[in-house]
Copies of this chain bind each other. A is one copy, B any other.
Amino acid sequence: MVGFVGELNSNMKDSCRWRRRKEARPAEILLAALKVFSLKGFAATRLDEVAKSAGISKGTLYLYFDSKDALFKAVVVEFILPQIAKAEEQAEDYRGSVMELMLKLVDQWRCNVLETDISGIPKIMVAEASNFPELAQFYLENVIQRTRIFIEKLIQLGIERGEFRQCNPKHAVRTFLTPLVFSAIWKNSLAPFDEYYDINEYLKFTMDNFMRGIKKD
Protein backbone atom coordinates (compact mmCIF):
# COMPACT_ATOMS: atom_id res chain seq x y z
CA MET A 1 0.00 0.00 0.00
CA VAL A 2 2.79 2.40 0.68
CA GLY A 3 4.56 1.54 -2.52
CA PHE A 4 8.21 0.98 -3.16
CA VAL A 5 9.52 3.04 -0.30
CA GLY A 6 7.59 0.93 2.14
CA GLU A 7 9.87 -1.98 1.40
CA LEU A 8 12.68 -0.30 3.23
CA ASN A 9 10.70 -0.48 6.42
CA SER A 10 9.15 -3.85 5.98
CA ASN A 11 11.62 -5.64 8.20
CA MET A 12 11.29 -3.16 11.06
CA LYS A 13 8.74 -3.73 13.74
CA ASP A 14 7.14 -0.93 15.65
CA SER A 15 8.89 -2.25 18.71
CA CYS A 16 12.23 -0.91 17.60
CA ARG A 17 11.09 2.68 17.89
CA TRP A 18 14.04 3.26 20.21
CA ARG A 19 16.49 2.12 17.60
CA ARG A 20 18.77 4.44 15.72
CA ARG A 21 17.37 4.57 12.27
CA LYS A 22 19.34 7.17 10.46
CA GLU A 23 19.25 5.07 7.33
CA ALA A 24 15.53 4.57 7.22
CA ARG A 25 14.42 7.98 8.50
CA PRO A 26 14.53 10.00 5.32
CA ALA A 27 12.42 7.51 3.41
CA GLU A 28 9.87 7.36 6.22
CA ILE A 29 9.70 11.12 6.40
CA LEU A 30 9.34 11.50 2.66
CA LEU A 31 6.54 8.99 2.60
CA ALA A 32 4.69 10.73 5.39
CA ALA A 33 5.28 14.10 3.76
CA LEU A 34 4.05 12.87 0.39
CA LYS A 35 0.82 11.78 2.01
CA VAL A 36 0.18 15.02 3.82
CA PHE A 37 1.29 17.28 0.97
CA SER A 38 -0.90 15.31 -1.44
CA LEU A 39 -3.87 15.69 0.81
CA LYS A 40 -3.53 19.25 2.04
CA GLY A 41 -1.25 21.06 -0.39
CA PHE A 42 1.98 22.76 0.55
CA ALA A 43 0.88 25.68 2.68
CA ALA A 44 -1.89 23.88 4.53
CA THR A 45 0.49 21.10 5.50
CA ARG A 46 1.70 21.41 9.08
CA LEU A 47 5.12 20.01 9.82
CA ASP A 48 3.71 18.83 13.11
CA GLU A 49 1.42 16.55 11.19
CA VAL A 50 4.15 15.26 8.91
CA ALA A 51 6.31 14.56 11.93
CA LYS A 52 3.55 12.79 13.80
CA SER A 53 2.72 10.80 10.71
CA ALA A 54 6.38 9.78 10.41
CA GLY A 55 6.50 8.91 14.10
CA ILE A 56 9.11 11.49 14.99
CA SER A 57 9.26 14.90 16.59
CA LYS A 58 9.04 18.14 14.72
CA GLY A 59 12.67 18.95 15.43
CA THR A 60 13.86 15.70 13.94
CA LEU A 61 12.55 16.73 10.56
CA TYR A 62 15.24 19.37 10.53
CA LEU A 63 17.98 16.80 10.97
CA TYR A 64 17.12 15.52 7.52
CA PHE A 65 15.63 18.44 5.65
CA ASP A 66 16.66 22.06 5.86
CA SER A 67 13.20 23.52 5.60
CA LYS A 68 9.62 22.88 4.64
CA ASP A 69 10.51 23.98 1.11
CA ALA A 70 13.39 21.54 0.96
CA LEU A 71 11.17 18.74 2.23
CA PHE A 72 8.58 19.52 -0.41
CA LYS A 73 11.11 19.55 -3.19
CA ALA A 74 12.66 16.33 -1.94
CA VAL A 75 9.26 14.67 -1.96
CA VAL A 76 8.73 15.55 -5.59
CA VAL A 77 12.22 14.79 -6.76
CA GLU A 78 12.86 11.64 -4.81
CA PHE A 79 9.65 9.90 -5.68
CA ILE A 80 9.24 10.83 -9.27
CA LEU A 81 12.67 10.28 -10.77
CA PRO A 82 12.81 6.54 -10.11
CA GLN A 83 9.45 6.19 -11.81
CA ILE A 84 10.74 7.74 -15.00
CA ALA A 85 13.75 5.49 -14.97
CA LYS A 86 11.61 2.46 -14.35
CA ALA A 87 9.30 3.31 -17.24
CA GLU A 88 12.18 3.78 -19.61
CA GLU A 89 13.69 0.44 -18.61
CA GLN A 90 10.45 -1.34 -19.26
CA ALA A 91 10.32 -0.04 -22.78
CA GLU A 92 13.88 -0.92 -23.60
CA ASP A 93 13.76 -4.56 -24.56
CA TYR A 94 10.23 -4.65 -25.77
CA ARG A 95 9.45 -6.85 -28.76
CA GLY A 96 6.07 -6.41 -30.29
CA SER A 97 3.80 -3.74 -31.71
CA VAL A 98 4.03 -0.14 -30.56
CA MET A 99 0.40 -0.22 -29.59
CA GLU A 100 0.93 -3.19 -27.34
CA LEU A 101 3.93 -1.52 -25.74
CA MET A 102 2.02 1.67 -25.08
CA LEU A 103 -0.83 -0.21 -23.46
CA LYS A 104 1.68 -2.13 -21.41
CA LEU A 105 3.23 1.12 -20.24
CA VAL A 106 -0.17 2.41 -19.22
CA ASP A 107 -0.59 -0.71 -17.18
CA GLN A 108 2.81 -0.35 -15.54
CA TRP A 109 2.07 3.23 -14.74
CA ARG A 110 -1.22 2.25 -13.21
CA CYS A 111 0.45 -0.24 -10.92
CA ASN A 112 3.51 1.77 -10.00
CA VAL A 113 2.06 5.25 -9.79
CA LEU A 114 -1.68 5.49 -9.87
CA GLU A 115 -2.25 2.87 -7.23
CA THR A 116 0.49 4.16 -4.92
CA ASP A 117 0.98 7.37 -3.00
CA ILE A 118 3.16 8.60 -5.82
CA SER A 119 -0.02 9.46 -7.65
CA GLY A 120 -0.23 12.47 -5.35
CA ILE A 121 2.70 14.19 -6.98
CA PRO A 122 1.08 15.48 -10.16
CA LYS A 123 -1.53 17.23 -8.08
CA ILE A 124 0.95 18.94 -5.79
CA MET A 125 3.07 19.99 -8.77
CA VAL A 126 0.06 21.43 -10.50
CA ALA A 127 -1.14 23.17 -7.36
CA GLU A 128 2.20 24.64 -6.29
CA ALA A 129 4.03 25.24 -9.55
CA SER A 130 3.85 29.01 -9.33
CA ASN A 131 5.00 29.01 -5.72
CA PHE A 132 8.06 26.88 -6.58
CA PRO A 133 9.29 28.07 -9.94
CA GLU A 134 12.59 26.24 -9.86
CA LEU A 135 10.85 23.04 -8.87
CA ALA A 136 8.38 23.55 -11.70
CA GLN A 137 11.26 24.02 -14.09
CA PHE A 138 12.96 20.92 -12.80
CA TYR A 139 9.78 18.88 -13.04
CA LEU A 140 9.08 20.02 -16.55
CA GLU A 141 12.54 19.21 -17.78
CA ASN A 142 13.13 15.98 -15.95
CA VAL A 143 9.68 14.50 -15.86
CA ILE A 144 7.32 16.03 -18.34
CA GLN A 145 9.63 16.67 -21.27
CA ARG A 146 11.56 13.48 -20.73
CA THR A 147 8.30 11.55 -20.81
CA ARG A 148 7.05 13.41 -23.84
CA ILE A 149 10.20 12.70 -25.80
CA PHE A 150 10.07 9.06 -24.82
CA ILE A 151 6.45 8.64 -25.88
CA GLU A 152 6.89 10.76 -29.00
CA LYS A 153 9.53 8.38 -30.25
CA LEU A 154 7.15 5.47 -29.80
CA ILE A 155 4.40 7.22 -31.69
CA GLN A 156 6.80 8.18 -34.46
CA LEU A 157 7.81 4.56 -34.66
CA GLY A 158 4.18 3.53 -34.81
CA ILE A 159 3.58 5.88 -37.69
CA GLU A 160 6.65 4.62 -39.53
CA ARG A 161 5.62 1.03 -39.01
CA GLY A 162 2.18 1.79 -40.36
CA GLU A 163 0.45 1.04 -37.07
CA PHE A 164 -0.69 4.64 -36.65
CA ARG A 165 -2.10 7.06 -39.14
CA GLN A 166 -0.08 10.06 -40.27
CA CYS A 167 -0.46 12.70 -37.60
CA ASN A 168 1.42 15.28 -35.57
CA PRO A 169 3.17 13.29 -32.84
CA LYS A 170 3.42 16.39 -30.58
CA HIS A 171 -0.36 16.42 -30.25
CA ALA A 172 -0.66 12.69 -30.08
CA VAL A 173 1.74 12.53 -27.15
CA ARG A 174 -0.29 14.97 -25.11
CA THR A 175 -3.52 13.28 -26.07
CA PHE A 176 -2.09 9.99 -24.85
CA LEU A 177 -0.64 11.35 -21.61
CA THR A 178 -3.52 13.55 -20.52
CA PRO A 179 -5.79 10.78 -19.22
CA LEU A 180 -2.93 9.27 -17.26
CA VAL A 181 -1.95 12.46 -15.49
CA PHE A 182 -5.52 13.57 -15.03
CA SER A 183 -6.60 10.33 -13.39
CA ALA A 184 -3.79 10.75 -10.88
CA ILE A 185 -4.84 14.31 -10.16
CA TRP A 186 -8.47 13.38 -9.87
CA LYS A 187 -7.81 10.47 -7.57
CA ASN A 188 -6.06 12.84 -5.18
CA SER A 189 -8.54 15.66 -5.31
CA LEU A 190 -12.21 15.31 -6.04
CA ALA A 191 -12.51 11.54 -6.43
CA PRO A 192 -12.99 10.99 -2.68
CA PHE A 193 -16.08 13.16 -2.85
CA ASP A 194 -17.33 11.64 -6.08
CA GLU A 195 -19.47 8.57 -6.49
CA TYR A 196 -17.55 5.34 -6.89
CA TYR A 197 -16.02 4.91 -10.31
CA ASP A 198 -13.63 2.26 -11.49
CA ILE A 199 -10.62 4.09 -12.79
CA ASN A 200 -9.36 0.96 -14.48
CA GLU A 201 -12.38 0.82 -16.67
CA TYR A 202 -11.88 4.44 -17.52
CA LEU A 203 -8.27 3.90 -18.51
CA LYS A 204 -9.20 0.90 -20.57
CA PHE A 205 -11.90 2.78 -22.42
CA THR A 206 -9.90 5.92 -22.92
CA MET A 207 -6.89 4.09 -24.24
CA ASP A 208 -8.96 1.89 -26.44
CA ASN A 209 -10.66 4.94 -27.90
CA PHE A 210 -7.29 6.65 -28.32
CA MET A 211 -5.97 3.68 -30.26
CA ARG A 212 -9.11 3.41 -32.35
CA GLY A 213 -8.67 7.05 -33.28
CA ILE A 214 -5.00 6.90 -34.07
CA LYS A 215 -4.57 3.55 -35.78
CA LYS A 216 -4.25 3.34 -39.52
CA ASP A 217 -7.52 2.96 -41.57
Contacts and interface: CB of A to CB of B under 8 A. Distances in A.
Interface string A73-93: 000000000000000000000
Nearest to A123: B126
A128 B197 CA distance: 21
Contacts of A108: none
A59 interface: no
A43 B139 CA distance: 22
A104 interface: no
A41 B39 contact: no
Given A167-B205, A213-B210, A40 B131 contact: yes
A201 interface: yes
Interface residues of A, number: 50
Contacts of A14: none
Contact of A209 (B40, B41, B214): B214
A171 B123 contact: no
A41 B131 contact: yes
Copies in the complex: 4
A41 B202 contact: no
A189 B40 contact: no
A123 to B, nearest CB: 6
A44 B131 CA distance: 8
Interface string A167-198: 11011101100110110011001101110010
A137 B189 CA distance: 11
B174 A206 contact: yes
B168 A205 contact: yes
Q: Which of A128, A186, A189 has the most CB of B within 10 A?
A: A189
Given A125-B190, A126-B189, A130-B192, 14 more contacts: A126-B126, A126-B127, A126-B185, A144-B190, A167-B209, A171-B202, A174-B202, A174-B206, A175-B205, A175-B206, A185-B185, A209-B213, A209-B214, A211-B213
Contacts of A129: 189-190, 192-193
